[in-house]
Amino acid sequence: MSARLRTPLTELVGIEHPIVQTGMGWVAGPRLVAATAEAGGLGILASATMTYDELAAAIAKTKAHTGKPFGVNIRADATDAGERIELLIREGVRVASFALAPKQELIARLKAAGVVVIPSIGAAKHAVKVASWGADAVIVQGGEGGGHTGPVATTLLLPSVLDAVDIPVVAAGGFFDGRGLAAALAYGAAGVAMGTRFLLTRESTVPDAVKQEYLRRGLSDTVVSVKVDGMPHRVLNTELVARLEHSGRWRALLAAAANAARFKGMTGMSWSAMIRDGLAMRKTKDLTWSQVIMAANTPMLLRAGLVEGNTEAGVLAAGQVTGIIQDLPTVRELIDRIVEEAVARIEVVGGIPAKSTPGSLGHQPG
């Protein structure tokens, strides 16, 4: 394609287009990430649901299918975060992204090795903190986004962050087309990050029946629940979610403990390692012990829905854009379309005369 948009993000990372595919657990694997990289965007592997060995294999597989830049999302509070960072450095991974702010020394280690550090943040004060620690850019997700999300809409959160820092800011939450990219750039963002829109592509490994479930939904068919894992989580409103919403506290804790045991068996983690992870989560996220136990629900409930295709026993993380997406393009078709639409929209806006007339906004007669 001929359409191109150069921004501080494309220059920083070395990608063609200012579009990021987020690190969605169980979804953002080598196939989707490599396709995004080959189409000119920034694909990010989701490592939170991978063991160290699985991550090493995923990086190798991604590199086998693309020579272009890609990233890996790492849990900054994971007990083996340091080992994973060393893996990224050895393998020459271009970008390290974090759902939680990494410690200052981790940022310094990555930057010293030439890795671009891009944490996700949910408030301007958090952006200021990571910027002062040396983060190269930030992703800011508004309340429209899927998965763990905050209460402030992107249209308000984004400008508050842009006003607070002077590093590139990538906008997330509510983006799915070229109009959104053009709008984000008009705000001053350096690009957009999308999760649900990339989940609903042909290269996404989510079962086709589950993709069709997403496509059937409307704009009011997502809900922010704290009953999935104790923290605000935007998901599709299903019968399971409705049952969780009406479940008692002790029943929820017992279910979470059972899911923790299942996750332990699947990953081979020891109980001591899981407890250490829980302690780290409690400290960094300021959680209660019940919330820490509830967090064990997340990987297993998402896996049931997004990997096994069991919508009756699984949870489907979903942004509000679910209700407006109607197709399953290839990743290249999606990125090309978004960029072309954005360029066309920017040209239209650029052609609007900037002169004022009596009675227009800002020039009201006294």
- In the chain, pLDDT over 70 holds for what percent of residues? 82
Give the bridge partners for 138, in sequence order. 169
Q: Is the pLDDT of residue 299 over 50?
A: yes
Q: What is the pLDDT of residue 98?
A: 96
Question: What are 326-340's pLDDT values in tens digits?
Answer: 999 999 999 999 999
Q: What is the pLDDT of residue 260?
A: 55
Q: What is the pLDDT of residue 248?
A: 61
Radius of gyration in angstroms for the set of CA atoms belonging to the chain, rounded to a whole number: 20
Q: Is the pLDDT of residue 259 over 90?
A: no
Q: What is the pLDDT of residue 363?
A: 44
For residue 117, what are its two tokens?
A: 């550090």
Q: What is the pLDDT of residue 3?
A: 79
- For CA atoms 264, 269, 272, 276, the dihedral sign is negative
SS3 193: strand
Q: What is the pLDDT of residue 185?
A: 98
Q: What is the pLDDT of residue 360?
A: 44
Overall average pLDDT of the 348-360 stretch? 75
Q: In whole angstroms, what is the distance from residue 42 CA to residue 54 CA?
A: 21
Q: Is the pLDDT of residue 8 over 70?
A: yes
pLDDT confidence tier of residue 265, bands split at 50, 70 and 90? low
Q: What is the pLDDT of residue 365?
A: 45
Q: What is the pLDDT of residue 4?
A: 87
Q: In whole angstroms, what is the distance from residue 67 CA to residue 55 CA?
A: 18
Overall average pLDDT of the 221-239 stretch? 88
Overall average pLDDT of the 183-190 stretch? 98
Distances (CA, A) of 126 to 121, 140, 175, 183, 247: 6, 10, 22, 23, 33
pLDDT confidence tier of residue 162, bands split at 50, 70 and 90? very high
Give the bridge partners for 170, in sequence order. 139, 191
Domains of the chain: 8-203+330-346 (3.20.20.70), 209-307 (no CATH)
Q: Which of 292, 306, 263 is nearest to 51 (CA)?
A: 263
Tell me which of 17-21, 70-74, 106-110, 310-314 is least confident.
310-314
Q: In whole angstroms, what is the distance from residue 248 CA to residue 54 CA?
A: 36
Overall average pLDDT of the 255-263 stretch? 55
Q: What is the mean pLDDT of the chain?
A: 87
Contacts of 205 (CB under 8 A, 6+ apart): 27, 29, 31, 32, 307
For residue 228, what are its two tokens?
A: 């999935």
Q: Which of 163, 183, 33 is nearest to 95 (CA)?
A: 33
For residue 267, what are its two tokens?
A: 């990953």
Task: Give the CA angle between residues 304, 308, 310 to the nearest 5°.
Answer: 65
Q: Is the pLDDT of residue 288 over 80?
A: no
Q: Is the pLDDT of residue 294 over 60?
A: no
DSSP for 206-262 reads S-HHHHHHHHH--TT-EEEESTTTSS-EEEE--HHHHHHHT--HHHHHHHHHHHHHH
pLDDT confidence tier of residue 364, bands split at 50, 70 and 90? very low
Q: Are 143 and 150 in contact (CB under 8 A)?
A: yes
Q: What is the pLDDT of residue 58?
A: 98
- In the chain, pLDDT over 90 holds for what percent of residues? 69
Q: In whole angstroms, what is the distance from residue 192 CA to residue 141 CA?
A: 10
pLDDT confidence tier of residue 303, bands split at 50, 70 and 90? confident
pLDDT confidence tier of residue 284, bands split at 50, 70 and 90? low
Distances (CA, A) of 226 to 101, 137, 291, 294: 22, 29, 9, 10
Give the bridge partners for 71, in sequence order. 44, 95
Q: What is the pLDDT of residue 361?
A: 45
Overall average pLDDT of the 209-236 stretch? 91
Q: Is the pLDDT of residue 203 over 80?
A: yes
DSSP for 272-318 reads HHHHHHHHHHHHHHT--HHHHHHTTHHHHHHHHHHTS--TTT---B-
Give the bridge partners for 191, in sequence order. 170
What's this model's pTM, rounded to 2 decimal places?
0.86
pLDDT confidence tier of residue 100, bands split at 50, 70 and 90? confident
